[in-house]
Amino acid sequence: MNKQTPPKVLFVSGINDSGEVKVNTIAPNGITLNYQVEGSCSVFNSLESADFQKLRLFLDTTLSQQFESRFMRVSLIFNQIANEETHKISLQKLTKLQEMTGLICINEPQSVLINTREHVALVLADLAGLIVPKVARISFKNPDQLAAAVNDSGIAFPMIIRPVGIHYNKDMILLQNREALNQVPLAFCDGRDYHIIEFFDICSEQGLYEKIRLIVIDGEVYIKHLYFSDVWCTGEETREIMNVRPELWARGQGVLDSFETAIKPKISERIREIAMRLGLDVFGIDCYIYPDGRILLFEANACMNILIPEKGHADGSSRQLELIERALLRLIKERL
């Protein structure tokens, strides 16, 4: 008796709306490129299972892109396109592909598209136990227009200004007061969209800031990392203090190890409500969690590194990645 062929899952990525792909390195043969497709949750290379076959598809920015017939003979789509601001074209193309095939899609493209930073703030604003900073989208071509836009937003100082569509710490500026508007580079006065975001100061008595990344899969929450920093903009690029203070690694490890029993019971119901309101199957939350379980939201979106190992973390991070990977495989199997 012939063995039944496992169902096929199509993992879809997209080129950004500018049509650019970042090349990191070129192999010694001068031919092979190590490239990076930004704006993706990129789980394709990390997931392996005997329960399904993997196919990969990149969507470009043209309307004339043709699809091989094998892409039409799949059982499930996994949408890896995650940046609602920079990948509108590929997300719209995926919407049409889904309509053509009638297939279930993990992280439906329309759900990704709608969840802009200001939409997320709006739909989560009244959720008890969740502190959601106010967000406004502005554009300006000179300092006077910037000052007027900030005034019209109704957001009080201090606030953060950052370019729309950026999910790293790049080009983020903390404005403590109105006088600080003079710190905004003239290069920002280009007519593009920017977000201004209400700032909550969570600096500890020891002068430390911390950021937890949660990963949510089908409404279930997992922890991926905890970063400490001595600057307000906490991320992988600003956690150097952890390398010179080993006790911070140990403290972070303790949070990872105790998450299931100490933190998760306090926040699970709220996280499920967030997942329902956003309509996303797989996404991340960057936040600060108070001892009583209240959550200060930094951002929530699908554009997170879900299965990328953490640099410097010990076994606790690996265990968390295993839990996240198993949850992703379980979700795929249930949707097939």
Task: Please report the pLDDT score of residue 177 as a whole number.
Answer: 97
Q: Is residue 178 part of a domain?
A: yes
What integer is the mean pLDDT of 216-237? 91
Mean pLDDT of the chain: 92
Q: Are residue 25 and residue 71 in the same domain, yes or no?
A: yes
The count of structural domains within the chain is 3
Q: Which domain holds residue 75?
A: 8-110
Task: Please report the pLDDT score of residue 63 as a whole number.
Answer: 81
| C-alpha distances in Å from residue 132, one per residue of 116, 202, 220, 333, 336 | 14, 14, 20, 34, 35
Q: Are residue 215 and residue 307 in the same domain, yes or no?
A: yes
pLDDT tens column, 255-284 = 999 999 999 999 999 999 999 999 999 999
For the chain, give the percent of residues with pLDDT over 70: 96
Query: 110 in helix, strand or coil?
Result: helix
pTM above the 0.85 mark?
yes
Q: Is residue 129 part of a domain?
A: no
Whole-angstrom Cα distance, residue 66 to residue 125?
42
Q: How confident is the model at residue 311 (pLDDT cuts 50, 70, 90)?
A: low
Q: Are residue 82 and residue 171 in the same domain, yes or no?
A: no
Task: Please report the pLDDT score of residue 24 as a whole number.
Answer: 73
**Is pLDDT of 315 > 60?**
no
Q: Are residue 222 and residue 259 in the same domain, yes or no?
A: yes
Q: Are residue 100 and residue 188 in the same domain, yes or no?
A: no
194: amino acid identity, one letter? Y
Q: When comparing pLDDT for 231 and 79, which is higher? A: 79
Q: Are residue 217 and residue 314 in the same domain, yes or no?
A: yes
Q: How confident is the model at residue 316 (pLDDT cuts 50, 70, 90)?
A: low
pLDDT tens column, 161-200 = 999 998 877 789 999 999 999 999 999 999 999 999 999 9
Q: Is residue 104 part of a domain?
A: yes
- Which CATH number does the domain housing residue 264 bear? 3.30.470.20
Q: Are residue 232 and residue 176 in the same domain, yes or no?
A: no
| Torsion sign over Cα 318, 324, 328, 333 | positive
Q: How confident is the model at residue 127 (pLDDT cuts 50, 70, 90)?
A: very high
Q: Is residue 124 part of a domain?
A: no
Q: Are residue 106 and residue 159 in the same domain, yes or no?
A: no
**Is pLDDT of 21 > 90?**
no
Q: Are residue 241 and residue 302 in the same domain, yes or no?
A: yes
Q: Are residue 91 and residue 157 in the same domain, yes or no?
A: no
pLDDT tens column, 33-89 = 776 778 889 899 999 999 999 999 999 999 888 877 777 789 999 999 999 999 999
CB atoms within 10 A of CB 41: 28
Q: Is residue 120 part of a domain?
A: no
Q: Are residue 264 and residue 171 in the same domain, yes or no?
A: no
What integer is the mean pLDDT of 208-231? 95
- Which CATH number does the domain housing residue 171 bear? 3.30.1490.20
Q: Is residue 116 part of a domain?
A: no
Q: Is residue 123 part of a domain?
A: no
**Is pLDDT of 1 > 50?**
no
| C-alpha distances in Å from residue 225, one per residue of 107, 250, 314 | 22, 13, 11
**Is pLDDT of 314 > 60?**
no
Task: Please report the pLDDT score of residue 153 as a whole number.
Answer: 97
Q: Is residue 127 part of a domain?
A: no
The winner for highest mean pLDDT among 4-13, 127-136, 242-251, 310-319 is 127-136
